[in-house]
Amino acid sequence: MAPALARFESEQPNIEYIHVNVDERTLPQNKAPFDKYFAGRSIPYTVLVGPDETARLNWTGLKSYEDLVQEIDALGESSGEKQ
């Protein structure tokens, strides 16, 4: 999933990204986001967090770049927000 996320990050500059490797979840900078948002039973586990710091979308498994864009677009349409 790393290539899709890297492309998504480079082409979506209006979104902030936090990466937490499950193997590094106890590091000080990773502990709080991991404890707050990780609810997956397997990896990769991805969470889209809104500006209010609530989890808006989450999924387990791989997604392509196109799938990520579609998920974000659908979220904006369903909430009436512009992306």
For residue range 22-34, list pLDDT tens digits in order.
888 899 998 999 9
Q: What is the pTM of this model?
A: 0.68
**Angstrom distances, CA of residue 13 to CA of 8, 30, 35, 42, 74:** 9, 22, 26, 28, 18
Q: Is pLDDT of 55 > 60?
A: yes
- Count of structural domains, the chain: 1
Q: Is pLDDT of 80 > 50?
A: no
Q: Is pLDDT of 77 > 80?
A: no
Provide the residue range defining the domain that includes 56: 2-79
Q: Is pLDDT of 21 > 70?
A: yes
| Helix axis angle, 65-79 to 2-11, nearest 10° | 50
